[in-house]
Amino acid sequence: MSDSNPTVVDNPWQALRQFTAARIALGRSGVSLPTSAQLEFQLAHARARDAVHLALDTQALRQALNNNGDICITLSSAAETRDIYLQRPDLGRRLDAASRSALTEQPRSASRRYDLAIVIADGLSALAIEQNALPFLDALKQRLAPDNWTLAPLAIVRQGRVAIGDEVGELLGAKAVVVLIGERPGLSSPDSMGLYLTWAPRVGLTDESRNCISNVRPAGLSYAEAAYKLHYLLTQARQRQLSGVQLKDETASQHGELQRPERNFLLEER
């Protein structure tokens, strides 16, 4: 039993909780969860719901990006409200008419296309974008700088889903598009950001055309590691003119970061 609360029986695997935020080895009180674990679950659920409904502060994000020297465009999907966005995923994948016109009227060089368009969309967690987009972009720019990538103006999209990047990239005439988007909140990760890369973006592509890097946040995949993986995929995509299921992330094997464990960690030392 727990020393602090004699009514709670500790789980013998409780030590494993140091390795994960997953709800494992919570113990029990009678045949139920301990009160503390039940309250933590309800709090996590409330935070996940708040993250889904929170509106992205596009003005603050645009100002912060401008302060970093980035040129930004603010766009909207065809989903006019958050309620419509949550019930009509198809509308979140397409721009509204005003946003299409704004992109069509963007000045561009007749002799050179943009190499890369970056789209920042709220997705299902504006919190993830507000906390992670700027520090990740700083890490990515350091990776891209030596390769002379020509970047399109950054596009901030309200009520956007992943596929909206295809329309933005197509209208900007970009060779590739990367979408930074708030992921569907988990019960321990309301702040997780996903990255989606598509080569030759155009309306109508499906998920098999994209590469995804997920769980970018301080408690997940670090900004530096995510930028490293995305830079690798971008470089390969440009060399091979493709993305999606035909393009694999081989960064781990290149650096030998995934080592086979020497023993089962569940077995006790002898």
Binding residues for adenosylcob(III)alamin, by number, are: 162, 183, 212
d(CA 40, CA 42): 5
d(CA 162, CA 210): 10
Cβ neighbors of 13 (< 8 A, separation 6 or more) are 24, 25
d(CA 192, CA 124): 10
Sequence ranges of the binding site: 162, 183, 212
Q: Spell out a b/e string for 239-254, using b for 16 or more CB atoms within 10 Å of the CB, else e.
A: eeeebbeebeeeeeee
The encoded tokens of residue 241 equal 């003119």
| Residue from 229, 169, 168, 170 nearest 194 by CA | 229
